[in-house]
């Protein structure tokens, strides 16, 4: 029964996981910010979003003081994801503390034993609580930051706990149109496993950059992800070849097609205005979820941001596959600003 339960759980989750679902606590690599999701899902160079430190703690700054972020993701197969973030400036000398919580509810499942006999319904959920801090290196535009995370997971009667840490370094200046960053995410340990065997956390190393054009209201974002593992490609069954004898040959993945899957790009139009339009493209998602004879638009993301006084509303649409899509909603509030 234990194997059946875990198999059902992971099948429901494999729509988008860390390098083929090889790790535990994979929900840590699902974006919950609509701002980020609309730009491809893995942007790590946003400096004006209180939700961004969940992915890059080096972006924590005093400008996030008393800002709140509430996020909801209508994910694949009826899975619901939510997160909340808050930042507070202790004082100019100490700096800003950031806290966040991620929650994912996988819904109800039907359990079965090894003979296929149903044993009743059960549910599954994951939870993460994080605390982050960033430090501006004196007389420089370089920031270093870290997150500490407590992790909890429950599948039927099986539970697991763990701890994880993120580390980031970020170069940003108000006087430069570009910024650069590097992040190591989800370094940690599964303290108590579901069973006797401990599993690895979804470690990810990524670098990113952004560039804001001076004469056009457009900002580009680039992310190169999964640097901890070069070969992240999985053959797409839709691109396999079958000969006259019925023998099937998997898709041939060369150096370039594997390399491009590490890249995510995003573009934000009117980034400094009250209304923004955002587009993104995730090359790995597009390659592995496409269909050879049907235009699926897999890998494309789009969204917008609307600022109304102390409130900011963000929405993102993520195209995974003709069978399912995802919508992300974010509400950001500035508690220091009075009135609407």
Q: Is residue 340 part of a domain?
A: no
* Burial category of 25 from C-beta neighbours within 10 Å (exposed 0-12, middle 13-18, buried 19 and up): buried
Q: Which two tokens stand for residue 318?
A: 């993520």
In eight-state DSSP terms, residue 256 is H
φ, ψ dihedrals at 70, nearest 5°: -120, 130
Dist. CA 43–CA 35, nearest whole Å: 9
The predicted pLDDT at position 117 comes to 82
Q: List, in order, residues 6 or more apart from 248 with CB less than 8 Å away.
A: 240, 241, 242
Which pLDDT does position 293 carry in this prediction?
67
Tokens read off for 71: 């996020």
Q: What is the three-class DSSP state of 3?
A: helix
Joined together, the tokens standing for residue 279 give 């587009």
Which pLDDT does position 18 carry in this prediction? 43
CATH of the domain at 329: 2.40.160.40
The tens digit of pLDDT for each residue in 253-282 reads 788 888 999 999 999 999 989 999 999 999
3-class DSSP assignment, residue 214 = coil
Q: Which residues contact 254 (CB under 8 A, 6 or more apart)?
A: none
Cα–Cα dist 35/50, whole Å: 10
pTM over 0.75: yes
| Inside any domain, residue 267 | yes
The pLDDT assigned to 16 comes to 40
What pLDDT score was predicted for residue 180? 96
CA distances (Å), origin 243, targets 50, 146, 250, 293, 294? 53, 53, 12, 17, 21
Number of domains in the chain: 1
241, part of any domain? yes
Residues of the chain below pLDDT 50 = 1-18, 20
Does the residue 253 lie in any domain?
A: yes
For 230, the domain range is 2-334
Query: Is residue 339 assigned to a domain?
Result: no
Residue 116: what pLDDT?
Answer: 81
Q: 33 lies in a domain?
A: yes
Are 292 and 238 within 8 A, CB to CB?
A: yes
pLDDT score at 115: 80
Instruction: Quick: pLDDT tens for 120-174.
Output: 888 899 999 999 999 999 999 999 999 999 999 998 888 999 999 999 999 999 8
Per-residue pLDDT, 44: 96
Q: Given this model, what pLDDT does residue 108 score? A: 84
DSSP per position, 288-337: HH-BTTB---TTEEEEEEEEETTEEEEEEEEEEETTEEEEEEEEEEETTS
How many residues belong to the chain?
Answer: 340
DSSP tag of 173: -
Cα(183)–Cα(186) distance, integer angstroms: 10
């Amino acid at each position: 029964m234990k194997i059946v339960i875990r198999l059902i759980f992971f099948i429901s989750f494999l729509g988008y996981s860390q390098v083929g679902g090889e790790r535990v606590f994979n929900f840590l690599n699902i974006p919950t910010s609509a701002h980020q999701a609309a730009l491809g899902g893995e942007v790590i160079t946003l400096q004006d979003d209180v939700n961004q430190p969940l992915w890059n703690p080096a972006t924590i700054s005093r400008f996030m003081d008393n800002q709140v972020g509430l996020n909801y993701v209508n994910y694949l197969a009826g899975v619901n994801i939510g997160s909340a973030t808050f930042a507070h400036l202790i004082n100019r000398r100490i700096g800003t503390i950031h806290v966040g919580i991620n929650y994912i509810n996988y819904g109800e499942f039907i359990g079965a034993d090894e003979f296929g006999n149903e044993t009743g319904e059960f549910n599954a959920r994951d939870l993460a609580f994080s605390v982050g801090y960033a430090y501006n290196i004196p007389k420089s535009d370089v920031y270093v930051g870290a997150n500490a995370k407590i992790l909890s997971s429950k599948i039927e009667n099986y539970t697991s706990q763990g701890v994880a840490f993120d580390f980031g370094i970020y170069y940003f200046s108000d006087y430069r149109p570009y910024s650069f960053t590097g992040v190591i995410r989800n370094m940690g340990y599964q303290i108590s496993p579901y069973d006797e065997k401990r599993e690895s956390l979804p470690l990810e190393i990524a670098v990113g950059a952004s560039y804001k054009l001076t004469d056009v209201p457009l900002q580009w974002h680039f992310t190169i992800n999964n640097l901890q593992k070069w070969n992240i490609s999985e053959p797409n069954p839709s691109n396999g070849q079958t000969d006259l004898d019925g023998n099937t040959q998997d898709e041939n993945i060369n150096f370039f097609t594997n390399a491009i899957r590490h890249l995510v790009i995003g573009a934000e139009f009117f980034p400094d205005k009250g209304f923004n339009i955002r587009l993104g493209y995730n090359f790995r998602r597009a390659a592995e979820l496409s269909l050879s004879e049907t235009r699926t638009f897999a890998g494309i993301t789009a969204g917008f941001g609307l600022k109304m006084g102390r409130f900011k509303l963000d929405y993102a649409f993520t195209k995974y596959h003709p069978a399912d899509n995802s919508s992300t909603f974010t509400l950001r509030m500035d508690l220091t600003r009075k009135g609407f």
